[in-house]
Amino acid sequence: MIGVAPMTDPESAVVIGAAGGIGAALADALAADGRHDVIHRLARSAPAPFAIDITDADSVAAAAAMVAAGGPPPRLVIVATGLLHADGHRPERGLSDIDPDWMARSFAVNTIGPALVARHFLPLLPRRGRTIFTALSARVGSIADNRTGGWFSYRASKAALNQLVRSFAIAETRRNPEAVVVALHPGTVDTAMSRPFQRAVAPGTLVTPPIAAANLLRTIDALTPAQTGRIFAWDGSEIIP
């Protein structure tokens, strides 16, 4: 069984970034499991009314309103979005590579976007019973684990996301003591995001999106309210911020 433990009342799940490699696999796995009555697959490239641009506050608000009006309340919200490289920009290797516009774009997608999702989607979660809100983060966002430097924009934006998750967890626990709000590291997954860097991946550690989704959902299923506000890897191990 994956996702959130069954409840008596109907429930839905929301996957934001459901057109990406990991997001699509997560949505497919949740649909195959059958535990949720409705799976909302939201993505920037999705047709209306399922389109969402997490860098646009109005778009996020409209998507949340659609979910609120479109069936049972969500007990599981997964933010499966992220930006590592695009339009010729790659992770910085040295100080001379720092570009303020690229750094701002990284924070817009990796930090501010999930914050906007939390603002509009956390209030949709029920006030009783176990609920899950999670955003995909990255091990390189851990300050304690940073041994190589570089990748300044990505590291900093994910570290900021981890801090936000902690703060959101504290607020949500006041609203529902059984709520779980966490950040999750999916591992290195064979997607367009990781493809330019796969030569450096250790043999046997690159996984397909379906395997990554199964790993993440297995970890989600094992989470308890006592673990809220923390960061976990795909295998359930905790990552120190």
Distance linking the first and last C-alpha atoms of the chain: 29
Rounded Cα–Cα distance for residues 4 and 36 (Å):
9
Q: Say yes or no to pLDDT of 4 above 80.
A: no
Look-up of token digits 């960061």: 231
Residue 94's domain comprises 12-239
Mean pLDDT of 139-158: 97
Does 56 fall in a domain? Answer: yes
- Please name the residues in contact with 158: beta carbons below 8 A apart, sequence gap of 6 or more: 110, 111, 137, 138, 140, 141
pLDDT of residue 2: 54
Cα within 13 Å of Cα(200), Cβ side: 3
pLDDT of residue 209: 97
Band (pLDDT 50/70/90 cuts) for residue 129 is very high
Does 231 fall in a domain? Answer: yes
In the structure encoding, which two tokens stand for residue 219, read together?
Answer: 């970890």
Q: What is the pLDDT of residues 104-113, one digit of tens each?
A: 999 999 999 9
Rounded Cα–Cα distance for residues 21 and 210 (Å):
9
Question: What amino acid is encoded at 163 in this protein?
Answer: Q
Mean pLDDT of 33-46: 96
Does 90 fall in a domain? Answer: yes
Q: At what angle do helices 152-175 and 100-107 cross, to 10 degrees?
A: 30
Q: What is the pLDDT of residues 66-92, one digit of tens each?
A: 999 988 999 999 999 999 999 999 999
CB 113 within 8 A of CB 135: no
**Percentage of residues in the chain with pLDDT exceeding 70?**
97
Rounded Cα–Cα distance for residues 197 and 68 (Å):
39
The domain tally of the chain equals: 1
Does 24 fall in a domain? Answer: yes
The partner residues of 39 in beta bridges, in order of sequence, read 13
In the structure encoding, which two tokens stand for residue 63, read together?
Answer: 């998507």
**Percentage of residues in the chain with pLDDT exceeding 90?**
91
pLDDT of residue 201: 80
Mean pLDDT of 9-37: 96
Cα within 13 Å of Cα(204), Cβ side: 0
Band (pLDDT 50/70/90 cuts) for residue 1 is very low
Does 99 fall in a domain? Answer: yes
Q: Say yes or no to pLDDT of 151 above 90.
A: yes
Mean pLDDT of 91-98: 97
Band (pLDDT 50/70/90 cuts) for residue 200 is confident
CATH number at residue 209: 3.40.50.720
Closest CA to 111 of 152, 151, 144, 81: 81
Does 7 fall in a domain? Answer: no
Band (pLDDT 50/70/90 cuts) for residue 193 is very high
Does 4 fall in a domain? Answer: no
Rounded Cα–Cα distance for residues 106 and 116 (Å):
15
pLDDT of residue 80: 98
Mean pLDDT of 227-231: 98
CA 229 to chain centroid, in Å, comes to 13
DSSP string, 159-197: HHHHHHHHHHHHHHHHH-TTEEEEEEE--EESSTTTGGG
